C-alpha cells in the first residue's frame, strides 16, 4: 500500500515541471492572441485606407474583443465610425481611449469636437482645455484654442436666443439659432427651440424639418413625434399625421396625448379613404355623404373642410344629377383657393351640364393659365366653345325641354307630349298649320338625334347630324338641297311624310 507521504513526495517532485508547462502554454496563448490582434489592426488599417469601411470595422471589432485594453483598437474603430457618419457609436470609443490613455490628445480633441456638435458646450470646453494642458502639437493646440473660442461664442448666442424666445421675439431667436446650429448640428435643444419658433411664425415646413432631425437625435422623443403629427394634421395631411403618431405610440403605448390624437386621426383617415373608394366605384352620392361626415368629424381644421368640399364638388360633377349644387360647392372652394385647377375643371363641367357655356369657358381659360399643358382642359374648353356656338343655333335638348343628362325614357316621354301638342292635324288655319309642321319636324328630329347614341354623341361634341352643311354630298352650288324626314304618328293616325327645303 502506497503511503500518503510517498504521494506527496511525487507531487512535489513533478510540480516544477507542471508549472513550467502551464507557463509555457499561457505564453503561447498570449503570443497567439497578441499576434491575432496585431493582424486585425493591420488589416483594419489597410481596409480603412482603401475605403472599405464595413470590412475595416469588422477587424477593429475583433481587435477590441481580443484586447479590451488596446486603446489604439478603440481609436481606430472610432475613426471608422466617424467615417461612416456614426458619431453616436464613435463617442463611447473615444471616451474609452481617453480612459485608457488620458494624454492621447487626438482622441480628446475629436471627442471635444463631437460634444460641441451635440451642443454639450461645457463638456466640450473641458476637453479643449485639457488638450492645451498636455503639451499638444502646434496643430492640435491651434485647433483646441479655436474650438474653445467658438464654444465660448456659442454659449453667448444660446443665452441671447433664450432671452429672445422668452419675450416671443421669434424672428431674432431663429436667426441666432441658425448660427448656433451651423456649428452644433446635432444639438437637440436648439433644433427643438427653433422648431417652436417656426411654428409660432407659421413656417410649418421648416418646423417639420427640425422636428424630424430631433426625433432621430434624441432617443424616445415622443414629444417630437406628437408635434409632427399635429402639424401634419393641421396641414390636412391625415396620412402623414397617422404615421407620426404611430411612431409616438411605438415608443410609449400609454402616451395620453398621442393616444387621444391617434383615435381622432384614425377615424378621419378611415372616413376619407372610404369616401375616395366610393368615388372610384362611381357611387357619387354615397361619397358626398361620406365627405360631409369628414367635415363633421373635424370642423375646426380648414384644410380638411376645403379638401372635403373639393371632393364633394368632384363627386357632384361626375354624378351629373345636381349641376347647380356642384357649381355652388365648387364656388365655395374657389373663394378660398381661386387657382385650384381641379376645382376649376370640375365647375366648368358642371356649368356645361347646366348649359352655362360662357361660364364654363371662363373657368377652363382660368384653369389653363395655371396648367398650360393639361389635355383635359384643352378638350373641355373646345367642347364648351362648340356647345356655346351650338346653343346659339338649334339645341335639340331645348326643343324637347330636357337636360343634357336626360335618359332615353325621359326624351321619348317629352317627345310624345310635344308631338301631341304640335301635331299639324291639330291646326286648321293654314299659317298655324305651317308653323306647327315646322315645330313638329324640329321635335321629331330632336327625338331622332337624342335617342340614337351615335347621333347624340356627335351632337354633344358640337356637330348637328341633321344639318345639311355638315353632311357629305352637300351641294355647294345654287341648287336646292332637300332633306326628307319620315317618322311615325304616335297617336295611331298612320305614317306622315313631309318634304322640307332647308335652304
CATH, residue 98 = 1.25.40.10
Which pLDDT score is estimated for 12?
Answer: 44
Q: Please give the mean pLDDT across all residues of the chain.
A: 86
Q: Report the alpha-carbon angle 423-426-430, nearest 5.
A: 100
Across 145-173, average pLDDT: 96
Let me know if residue 278 belongs to a domain.
no
Across 480-493, average pLDDT: 39
How many CA atoms within 13 Å lie on the side-chain side of 89?
14
| Contact of 223 with 231, CB cutoff 8 Å | no
| Contact of 114 with 140, CB cutoff 8 Å | no
Which tens digit of pLDDT belongs to each residue from 411-470? 999 999 999 998 999 888 887 888 788 889 889 999 999 999 999 998 888 788 887 665
Let me know if residue 65 belongs to a domain.
yes
Q: Which three cell numbers mark 482?
A: 332637300
| Contact of 225 with 215, CB cutoff 8 Å | yes
Number of domains in the chain: 2
Find the helix or strand (DSSP H, E) in which 485 lies: strand 482-486
Closest residue by Cα to residue 387 from 346, 356, 350 = 356
Reply yes or no on whether the pLDDT at 499 is more than 90: no
Across 211-235, average pLDDT: 94
pTM of the model: 0.67
CATH number at residue 407: 1.10.287.110
| Contact of 164 with 172, CB cutoff 8 Å | yes
Across 46-69, average pLDDT: 93
Domain boundary among 123, 143, 165: 165
Which pLDDT score is estimated for 435?
Answer: 79
DSSP 8-class letter at 220: T
d(CA 223, CA 257): 9
Across 173-181, average pLDDT: 97
Which pLDDT score is estimated for 262?
Answer: 96
Which pLDDT score is estimated for 469?
Answer: 62
Q: Report the alpha-carbon angle 105-108-110, nearest 5.
A: 110
Across 241-259, average pLDDT: 95
Average the pLDDT over each of 7-11, 238-242, 248-252, 331-335 and give the range with the smallest value.
7-11
Find the helix or strand (DSSP H, E) in which 229 lies: helix 222-234
Which pLDDT score is estimated for 461?
Answer: 82
Cα-based distances in Å from 464 to 96, 292, 480, 486, 502: 90, 41, 19, 18, 14
Which pLDDT score is estimated for 470?
Answer: 57
Domain boundary among 165, 187, 221: 165
Which pLDDT score is estimated for 355?
Answer: 84
Which pLDDT score is estimated for 4?
Answer: 52
Q: For residue 490, name the pLDDT band (cuts at 50, 70, 90).
A: very low
Let me know if residue 205 belongs to a domain.
no
Domain residues for 58?
38-165
Domain boundary among 149, 165, 181: 165
Let me know if residue 57 belongs to a domain.
yes
Across 2-25, average pLDDT: 47
Which pLDDT score is estimated for 34?
Answer: 52
Amino acid at each position: 500500500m502506497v503511503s500518503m507521504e510517498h504521494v506527496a513526495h511525487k507531487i512535489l517532485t513533478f510540480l516544477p515541471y507542471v508549472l513550467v508547462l502551464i507557463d509555457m502554454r499561457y505564453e503561447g496563448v498570449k503570443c497567439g492572441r497578441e499576434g491575432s490582434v496585431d493582424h486585425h489592426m493591420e488589416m483594419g488599417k489597410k481596409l480603412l485606407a482603401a475605403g472599405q469601411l464595413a470590412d475595416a470595422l469588422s477587424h477593429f471589432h475583433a481587435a477590441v474583443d481580443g484586447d479590451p485594453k488596446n486603446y489604439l483598437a478603440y481609436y481606430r474603430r472610432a475613426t471608422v465610425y466617424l467615417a461612416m457618419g456614426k458619431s453616436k457609436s464613435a463617442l463611447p470609443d473615444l471616451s474609452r481611449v481617453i480612459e485608457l490613455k488620458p494624454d492621447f490628445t487626438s482622441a480628446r480633441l475629436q471627442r471635444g469636437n463631437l460634444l460641441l456638435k451635440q451642443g454639450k458646450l461645457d463638456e466640450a470646453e473641458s476637453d479643449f482645455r485639457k488638450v492645451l494642458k498636455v503639451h499638444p502639437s502646434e496643430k492640435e493646440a491651434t485647433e483646441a484654442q479655436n474650438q474653445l473660442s467658438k464654444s465660448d461664442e456659442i454659449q453667448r448666442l444660446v443665452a441671447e436666443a433664450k432671452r429672445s424666445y422668452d419675450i416671443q421675439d421669434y424672428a431674432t431667436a431663429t436667426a441666432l439659432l441658425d448660427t448656433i446650429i451651423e456649428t452644433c448640428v446635432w444639438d437637440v435643444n436648439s433644433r427643438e427651440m427653433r422648431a417652436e419658433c417656426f411654428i409660432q411664425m407659421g413656417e410649418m415646413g421648416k418646423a417639420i424639418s427640425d422636428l424630424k432631425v430631433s426625433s432621430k437625435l434624441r432617443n424616445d422623443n415622443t414629444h417630437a413625434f406628437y408635434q409632427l403629427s399635429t402639424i401634419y394634421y393641421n396641414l390636412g395631411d391625415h396620412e402623414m399625421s397617422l404615421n407620426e403618431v404611430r411612431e409616438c405610440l411605438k415608443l410609449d403605448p400609454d402616451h395620453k396625448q398621442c393616444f387621444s390624437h391617434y383615435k381622432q386621426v384614425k377615424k378621419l383617415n378611415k372616413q376619407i379613404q372610404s369616401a375616395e373608394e366610393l368615388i372610384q366605384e362611381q357611387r357619387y352620392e354615397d361619397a358626398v355623404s361620406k365627405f360631409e361626415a369628414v367635415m363633421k368629424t373635424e370642423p375646426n381644421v380648414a384644410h380638411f373642410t376645403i379638401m372635403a368640399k373639393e371632393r364633394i364638388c368632384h363627386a357632384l360633377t361626375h354624378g351629373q344629377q345636381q349641376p347647380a349644387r356642384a357649381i355652388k360647392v365648387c364656388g365655395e372652394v374657389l373663394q378660398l383657393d381661386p387657382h385650384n385647377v381641379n376645382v376649376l375643371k370640375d365647375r366648368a363641367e358642371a356649368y356645361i351640364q347646366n348649359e352655362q357655356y360662357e361660364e364654363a369657358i371662363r373657368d377652363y381659360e382660368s384653369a389653363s393659365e395655371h396648367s398650360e399643358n393639361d389635355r383635359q382642359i384643352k378638350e373641355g374648353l373646345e367642347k364648351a366653345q362648340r356647345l356655346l356656338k351650338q346653343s346659339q343655333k338649334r339645341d335639340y335638348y331645348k326643343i324637347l325641354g330636357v337636360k343634357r343628362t336626360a335618359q332615353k325614357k325621359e326624351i321619348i316621354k317629352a317627345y310624345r307630349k310635344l308631338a301631341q301638342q304640335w301635331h299639324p292635324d291639330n291646326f286648321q288655319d293654314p299659317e298655324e298649320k305651317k308653323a306647327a309642321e315646322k315645330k313638329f319636324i324640329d321635335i321629331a328630329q330632336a327625338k331622332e338625334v337624342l335617342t340614337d347614341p351615335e347621333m347624340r354623341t356627335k351632337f354633344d361634341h358640337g356637330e348637328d347630324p341633321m344639318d345639311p352643311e355638315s353632311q357629305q354630298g352637300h351641294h355647294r352650288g345654287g341648287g336646292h338641297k332637300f332633306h326628307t324626314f319620315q317618322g311615325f304618328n304616335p297617336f295611331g293616325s298612320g305614317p306622315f311624310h313631309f318634304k322640307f327645303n332647308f335652304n
